[in-house]
Amino acid sequence: MDKLLVLVNGLPGSGKSTLGVALARTLRAEFISKDAVKEALAGCVTEIDTVRELGGIAMDTVWALARTVPRDVVVDSWWFRPRDLRFARAGVEKVAPGRFVEIWCDVPAEVARARYAGRRRAALYQDERRLAEDWDTWAARAAPLGLGPVLTVDTTRPVDHAELAVWIGRTAAEQVSRA
């Protein structure tokens, strides 16, 4: 299969969704957001706070969709390397793309935190609790997954999506020529 899989990763508030949507449009790829899947799944259960593994269930669904969609795919999620590396590796293997890259959305932690704190999202995300309990660890240990080629993109300023698409195309072509 010659499918291209692009993972858009970075701290919460780093601009993943903004970048991912625009990049998918530029690449003429499908955009799949873990948050959109999570919200759709949350609507299926009346007492969502009793479903502790909603994030994992959403990610399993994302990988299944990415594998099934008949075109290139851009997936947006926050993969915290110490917690998520083995799950992400298994997901990428499930999709079995012919070409694969990761985009790391790079912003200073304080910028991402301010953006994250300023969002108003559904209670199912538990953003206030995560800011209080997890943010310092996330900020200190945030890093790309590194499962394939990684491009770090400064998302504190506008991104040239066409230039990014050229890098992805060149990197993906190198993967095909090595195969």
DSSP result, 96-136: --SEEEEEEEE--HHHHHHHHHH----GGG-HHHHHHHTHH
When divided into structural domains, the chain yields a total of 1
Which residue range forms the structural domain that includes residue 60?
Answer: 4-178
What's the rounded Cα separation, in Å, for the pair 178 and 108? Answer: 35
Is residue 32 within 8 Å of residue 67, measured between CB atoms? no
CATH number at residue 120: 3.40.50.300
Q: Which of 39, 31, 176 minimizes the C-alpha distance to 103?
A: 31
> What is the reported pLDDT for 126?
64
> What is the reported pLDDT for 46?
77
The tens-digit pLDDT sequence of the chain (179 residues) is 589 999 999 999 999 999 999 999 999 999 999 989 988 888 877 776 656 687 888 899 999 999 999 999 999 999 999 999 999 999 999 999 999 999 999 999 999 989 877 777 666 656 576 666 788 998 999 999 999 999 999 999 999 999 999 999 999 888 766 65
Indicate the residue type of 140: A
What's the rounded Cα separation, in Å, for the pair 116 and 128? Answer: 9
Which strand (E) or helix (H) includes residue 21? helix 16-27
